[in-house]
Amino acid sequence: MPSAAPILCDLDGVVWLMHQPIAGSVNAIQLLKNAGHRVLFVTNNSYSVISDQENALAKIGIDAYNDVVTSSQAAGALLRKGERVLLGGGPGAVEAVKNAGAVLAGRSDDQTDSEIDQEVDTVMVGFHPSFDYRGLTRLSQAVRNGARLIATNDDATYPTPRGLIPGGGSILASVVAASGVEPIIAGKPHQPMADLVRQVLGVTDLSDTWMVGDRPSTDGLFAQTVGCKFAQVLTGISSLKDVSDDVGNNASDQANGNRQVFADLETFAKMIVGL
């Protein structure tokens, strides 16, 4: 493992937007790696399988083999072997259910008779563009029938080159409203993702580590959960106005250097390596 402290790095709004690299991001990752930092990509993207994320990064010039962790993986870590899962999610969530040794009893967007939903132990919800009223009915009914509710993440929106679109958290909100049950949330900024990151890195003390992200409400809070510093970049959700509006709530972190704001990932990387 590199001797320098690892860097935790979000993907969407930091490295790329819809797999289109943000200017300077590829060079930034290389700078950090050349300086001995392991870069672990920590994403709330629950839709893609791990290999697709790794391959997409490879296509833009970033080697990320075994260096991507997702909110679907964090959710999968909460499943028990053999339990029956009704899934409202994409391929990444399917992969996580199977890797956990759980049984994929049904998907909310398939055409299976909903009677099977009486027999599920857990409902897992993540981003899936096929979400509709029928799926909402199946997911919420299973929860009301006693299944526990696990969510990959609660990000309400997702950044794209054309602006924000509804994220998995928007889907989750409708399931929560229809079922009346609060979920266990796996992804950033919650504890299951922190546990997964520590497990993957084999490190318990991350106080010298930076979490690079664009969302204070997700990446910033996750830095607090995992016990590291937060580098906020302005290439995704946040703007300079958002930073100025939020600075009063984070005065102590700003004062002790545990939170800093950068224009982009490349500017952060150059600060870290001393350029």
How far apart are alpha carbons 74 and 192 in whole angstroms?
6
Greatest alpha-carbon span in the chain: 61
Residue 110: other Cβ atoms inside 10 A: 11
Closest CA to 231 of 183, 272, 172, 186: 272
The answer to whether residue 242 is catalytic is no
Q: What are 63's two structure tokens? A: 């080697």
Task: Please indicate whether residue 52 is annotated as part of the active site.
Answer: no
13 by DSSP, 3-state: which? coil
Cα(205)–Cα(194) distance, integer angstroms = 12
**Dihedral-angle region of residue 61 (phi above 0 means left; psi in -120 to 50 means alpha; beta otherwise):** left
> How far is 70 from 82, CA to CA, in rounded Å?
22
Catalogue the active-site residues: 10, 12
